[in-house]
Amino acid sequence: MSTLLKKKVDGWAVKALPGRCVFCLDALQGHLPWCEACFPELPWNLPACPVCAEPQPGAARGRRCGHCLRRSPGYDRAWVPLRYDAEVAGLVQRFKFDASPRAGRVLLELLKAGLSPAVQRWPDALVPVPLHPRRSRERGFDQAHWMAVRLGRQLGCPLSLAQRNRDTRTQRGLDRGERRRNLRGAFRVPAGLPRRVVLVDDVMTTGATLDALAVACRQAGAEEVQAWAVARTPAGRH
């Protein structure tokens, strides 16, 4: 199915199925796009490393993962409420590669549902993970910027925009160390960032991209940096 046709079908579904759960299509009682039965069955990222949010086995609950013990990331902590799996992976793929606004709205609501009111009030500015201009033109859609703009409006939080200094090669197929080296010095952030900054992305894989952007944000004046994403890729599936 072509991207244009998928967008048309997506738009039709929004109009034709009002008040229906996005996962099971049962009737909804409230304003959220999911039903009470589906919500707890989603692949929630629990337990997870309290620093980088990597999914953990039960025995490691609440402890730093081995990666964070060996090397602390550039951000102070990550909030990533879901695992990149099952229904969530499907939503992310439709949002990222098909530019589905409906999938984007659901993912944004899921992100907010996974953040406490105190965490939502924490940032002074949001910094979406930027695509290189060439890649943005090719894709025709910048998913992190799309999310950050709408999240900023809802939280009453301004955006600060970063830039990619170079068009890094794809991270697919690279291990954690190779990803980090590939992104070293890849971002530039204008000076004068406020004290508390949140980096926004749709999916967190190893965290190398958010790590590199966090370093650039600290160089631009941020004192505390958090990373927010909707879903985290489990270890071994990078």
* pLDDT per residue as tens digits for the range 8-65: 444 444 444 568 899 999 998 888 999 999 999 999 999 999 999 999 876 567 789 9
Tell me, yes or no, whether 86 and 119 share the same domain. yes
Residues 143 and 211 in one domain: yes
Confirm whether 237 is domain-assigned.
Answer: no
228, 130: one domain:
yes
- Angstrom distance (rounded) from CA 48 to CA 50: 6
Tokens in use for 163?
A: 């830039």
Question: What is the pLDDT averaged over residues 125-144?
Answer: 81
238, part of any domain? no
Enclosing domain of residue 92? 45-232
User: Do 163 and 209 reside in the same domain of the chain?
Assistant: yes
Least confident of 71-85, 156-170, 183-197, 220-234: 156-170
Average pLDDT (106-129) is 97
Evaluate whether 207 touches 73 at the Cβ level (below 8 Å): yes
Same domain, 50 and 30: no
Strands 82-83, 224-232: pairing kind:
parallel
Q: What is the pLDDT of residue 62?
A: 75
Q: At 195, which CATH number?
A: 3.40.50
The reply to whether 150 falls in a domain is: yes
- Per the prediction, the chain carries an average pLDDT of 85
Separation between Cα atoms, residue 170 and residue 148, nearest integer Å: 23
4, 57: one domain: no
Domain-embedded: residue 3 = yes
- Same domain? 25 vs 51: no
Say yes or no: 102 and 126 in one domain. yes
Per the structure, how many domains does the chain have?
2
**In this structure, are residues 103 and 95 in contact, taking their beta carbons and an 8 Å threshold?**
yes
pLDDT at 164: 86
Residue 124 lies in a domain: yes
Q: Let me know whether 114 and 224 are in one domain.
A: yes
Is residue 156 assigned to a domain?
Answer: yes
- pLDDT at position 141 is 81
DSSP state of 63: S
Specify the range with the lowest mean pLDDT, choosing from 14-28, 41-55, 71-85, 150-164: 14-28
Predicted pLDDT of residue 9: 42
Measured distance CA(222)–CA(189) in Å, rounded = 10
User: Which pLDDT belongs to residue 16?
Assistant: 40
User: How remote is the C-alpha of 224 from its chain's centroid?
Assistant: 18
Q: Are residues 80 and 51 in the same domain?
A: yes
d(CA 159, CA 144): 12
142 and 32 belong to one structural domain: no
Q: Are residues 4 and 101 in the same domain?
A: no
Note the pLDDT of residue 5. Answer: 45
Cβ-Cβ contacts under 8 Å for 203 (sequence gap 6 or more): 84, 92, 96, 229, 230, 231, 232, 233
Rounded mean pLDDT, 93-100: 90
The pLDDT tens digits of the residues spanning 211-231 come to: 999 999 999 999 999 999 999
* Distance of alpha carbon 102 from alpha carbon 94, whole angstroms: 9
Determine if the peptide bond prior to 18 is cis (ω within 30°): no
